[in-house]
């Protein structure tokens, strides 16, 4: 099975100058949790912005969403695939890059679709070349705590939290 067999072709996008209120409205209206960010010319994918990125940006700034642009949030790097990629290659990219969505681009870098873990899950049973185990392994890899988070929370287990509470 190839990426093009299950990718969503009607991709909603935004641009660096799009404000967060507009980006959130696009996500809400189209029931999606992320948008590819296209360059100013609307030709190439330059990043991805998620609903979490928007929430964190609004929560950590003293400004309303309509006053914050996508470019100020520094959207995530866009890890991509091409329509002809085997679905297993795309799953491997999702696992190693810890992302749930991959913009699907052509040889010129133009957006052609988006591959979401949700679509993979919903199509796994329809295609014999993809097992539930492969999907679960991908989700497990994506959900695994990142090293930086583990280091930042080292020693913050329940016992240490209780000790800090008792001292306070």
pLDDT above 90: residue 40? no
Distance CA 140, CA 23 (A): 28
pLDDT for position 54: 96
CA angle 97, 103, 23 (to 5 degrees): 105
pLDDT for position 41: 82
The helix/strand/coil state of 78 is coil
pLDDT for position 81: 96
pLDDT for position 133: 76
Distance CA 113, CA 132 (A): 23
Mean pLDDT of all residues in the chain?
Answer: 83
Lowest-pLDDT range of 23-37, 41-55, 77-91, 122-136: 122-136
Name all domains of the chain by residue range, CATH numbers in brackets: 3-167 (3.10.580.10)
Q: Residue 92: how many CB atoms within 10 A of its CB?
A: 17
106 — pLDDT class (breaks 50, 70, 90): very high
Which one is predicted more confidently, 152 or 29?
Answer: 29
pLDDT above 60: residue 24? yes
Read off the pLDDT of each residue in 30-58 and give the average, rounded to a whole number. 92
pLDDT for position 125: 67
pTM over 0.75: yes
Read off the pLDDT of each residue in 68-94 and give the average, rounded to a whole number. 91
pLDDT above 90: residue 157? no
The total number of residues shown for the chain amounts to: 168
pLDDT for position 154: 55
């Amino acid at each position: 099975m190839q990426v093009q067999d299950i990718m969503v072709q009607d991709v909603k996008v935004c641009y660096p100058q799009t404000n967060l209120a507009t980006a959130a409205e696009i996500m809400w209206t189209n029931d999606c949790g992320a948008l590819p960010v296209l360059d100013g010319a609307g030709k190439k994918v330059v990043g991805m912005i998620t609903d979490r990125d928007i929430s964190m940006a609004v929560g950590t700034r003293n400004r309303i969403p309509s006053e914050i642009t996508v470019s100020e949030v520094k959207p995530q790097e866009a890890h991509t695939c091409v329509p002809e990629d085997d679905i297993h290659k795309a799953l491997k990219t999702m696992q190693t890059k810890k992302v749930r969505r991959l913009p699907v681009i052509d040889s010129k870098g133009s957006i052609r679709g988006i591959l979401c873990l949700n679509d993979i899950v919903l199509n796994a049973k329809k295609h014999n070349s993809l097992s539930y185990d492969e999907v679960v392994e991908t989700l497990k890899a994506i959900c695994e705590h990142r090293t930086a988070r583990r280091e930042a929370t080292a020693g913050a287990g329940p016992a240490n939290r209780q000790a800090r509470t008792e001292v306070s």
